[in-house]
Amino acid sequence: MSTVILAEKPSQARAYVDALQQNTKQSGYYEVSDPILPSDTTITFGFGHLVELAPPDDYDAKFKHWSLDNLPIFPEKYHFVVGADKQKQFKIVKKLLQAADTIIIATDSDREGSNIAWSIIKQAGAYTKNKTYQRLWINSLEKAAIREGFQHLRTGASDLPAYYEAQTRQISDWLVGMNASPLYTLLLRQAGVHGAYSIGRVQTPTLYMVYERDLAIKNFHPTPYLELQAQVQVEQQTFQAKLEPYQRFDDQKQLNTYMTTKNVQIGLQDGFIAGVDTTAKQTTSPRLFSLSSLQSAMNKQAHVSASETLKAVQALYEAKLLTYPRTDCQYITDQEFDYLLDNLTAYQALIPEEVVLDHLTANKRYINGDKVQEHHAIIMTKTIPTPAQLQKLTPLAQQIYDLVLRTTLAMFAQPYEYQETVIITQVGQALFKATGKVPTNPGWQVLLKQPLKEKKESKEPAVLPKVTQGQRVQVKLAATKKLTKAPIPFTEGTLITAMKTAGKTLEDADEQAILKEAEGIGTEATRANILEVLKKRQYLVTAKNQLHVSASGQTLCQAVSLQPLLTSPTMTAKWEAALKQIGQQQRTPNNFLGQIQKFVQKLVDEVPDQLGQSTTMQQQINLQKEAEAKQQAVANLGQCPVCQQGQIVDKGKFYGCTNYKAEQSCQFTLPKKWSSKALTPTIVKTLLMKGTTTKLKGFKSKKTGKSFQAKLQLKNGQLAFDFGK
């Protein structure tokens, strides 16, 4: 009876091997031996997605070239393929899986991991009734966690709903992408806009959120208004107070009417303290981290992208220092709380600050097993790194580990305590409110100090002087002119939050927790990748940590705006909720995919007329054409020396003529590297304009490897050296 353990990737397989007693490395797998496993056991692995959905031309060769006549593409049965670069490993895995009596799925403990494993098993023809399937489900790659996981395996059947959900998500994204992308691209090309446009079930509404924010900022017109503020003089001290309840005035006339009604005036006048209230207050530490909240925190604190944070957290997980990263949960169970408690002294030794950690009973704000479904919050593992081990981590990984460490320890710390004083000053019949805080116990704030760059933005109330109710004071009233402020551009951190809350961009984590019904768009595992795709396709651009939509992204957003279902975060969130119902066995994959097909058919039927009849779309197309023309003018390096008609442009791997076509002339090209020297656009411009360059350094001889200097010249359309003076 043979058993095969299927890991997601080589590093994960190696972690399993290291947790077991004996192993022998073979090509593409390990033979392992340990009392906790059956006698004949091997561990093999994929490279992430060994198996992927086939492209459209796998169904019919006609789909190789985009055509409106071929839309929509609705395969009767979906094909899956193995990439050419993964064939060798797949053959090894396939042979092992087919021969196995028991298969233990040990890919990442999430839906995507389940999809990867079952896709491999089915593609390998290893899904049969006479095999036993089991599932390893762990939150840490520590040796103890791995061994405990193998001793408490779940049934394979329990994992199938997660696979069905993830595969349905994969197929639905394929349906939208493979139909909507050619549809919009071809229609825009007919209108004279070049390039290929990518549409995604999740990426498009995400892009559209940034587009709407950009529009709101662009169309914003600041509105002037007036505030009535008071400077209260108490003996030798003064403090500022604002109108209570707060009110602002559209113009001087409105302010004058208010002042007349309340019997006040601009300038110095008598007043008195109408009320003084001092209350002892406290705040508890922030919630533990989910992946999204950690990505948002790192972007705010260090301007780190969501994908960079995920990559670093994944590395810390594989280093056995942090728990599973792709979690949407901000709670832990009693089990995690107990081991944190046991190791509290060792964790505390990793930070230099002196802090009292005496809250040693479980608090439901952080510890609630009912809130933990698949994975708990991101916390430290039982493995305590030494200072030397921490120093070996990348600076970003060190920063993330430190933040998770401090945030986790903060739940054991005392609350931040302060005295809050509220003073109400009355002038005439108008009331003015001032609030001040006096810290009495820093508590958890010793661990989570505010970053220096944020301190100047802090609006902490000032310490107020001691006053008594009824005390007479002098009050100087002033009308301050102000302007309304434009919306704030998205950052990756705030956009991740917006995706998670389906567009309800709440800054406060506690307010986010209240949104019980908001499923969000995308998943913890996919949001960072979605942002990377949008940046890679140059729809999103980043400047000073702010996200904006590029010219081509604006054209795409204008085009899809005519189809609200493509742009609505709420609808996408509802789709995500429906997909989760598949994982909960409350909906079938066919039911959901049927809805997606109806949506795609609607796009194919309606979009051609919508784009053709939209005047705003035509205006955007004209703007895009102008932008492309300017970009092309900048990109042109010079006239083609061969055909004398085309322009030489950067074609990616080489420089070539714009008149180049596969079937006919002009075949003139220039390499980007010549004898080991990079040929920059500046060098190429000079070469095309003058036929030769100045003497250049950095060439290397292929025979001797020695460096040399020379001029470059064009001779009969061919690049050559000129060794003359």
Q: DSSP per residue over 250-308, as a string? A: SSHHHHHHHHHHHT--SEEEEEEEEEEEEEEEEEPPPPPB-HHHHHHHHHHHH---HHH
Question: Which of 570, 541, 504, 505 lies closest to 214 in space, CA to CA?
Answer: 541
Question: Which CA distances in Å does 278 have to 9, 209, 296, 463?
Answer: 59, 43, 35, 12
User: Which letter does DSSP use for residue 437 in this model?
Assistant: E
Count CB-CB contacts under 10 A for residue 374: 16
Phi, psi angles (nearest 5°) of residue 203:
-65, -35
Q: How far apart are CA 31 and CA 7, in angstroms?
A: 14
- Mode of pairing for the β-strands spanning 638-639 and 647-650: antiparallel
Query: Nearest-CA neighbor of 507 among 498, 499, 515?
Result: 498
Q: d(Cα 144, Cα 140) in Å, to the nearest integer?
A: 9
- Specify whether 660 is catalytic: no
> Is the Cβ–Cβ distance between 621 and 191 less than 8 Å?
yes
In Å, what is the CA distance from 43 to each residue of 18, 25, 154?
A: 12, 10, 18
Residues 6+ apart with CB under 8 A from 62: 70
The catalytically annotated residue of 324, 347, 416, 418 is 324
Which of these, 138, 129, 131, 134, lies nearest to 158 by C-alpha position?
134
- 210-243 burial string, b = 16+ CB within 10 Å, else e? bbbbbeeeeeeeeeebbbbebebbbeeeebebbb
3-class secondary-structure state, position 147: helix
- The DSSP bridge partners found for residue 404 are none
Is the preceding peptide bond at 245 cis, omega within 30 degrees of 0?
yes
| CA of residue 118 relative to chain centroid, distance | 27
Owner of token pair 């002037």? 224
Q: How far apart are the first and last CA of the chain?
A: 79
Report how far residue 412's alpha carbon sits from residue 97's, in angstroms, rounded to the nearest whole number. Answer: 47
Catalytic residues: 324
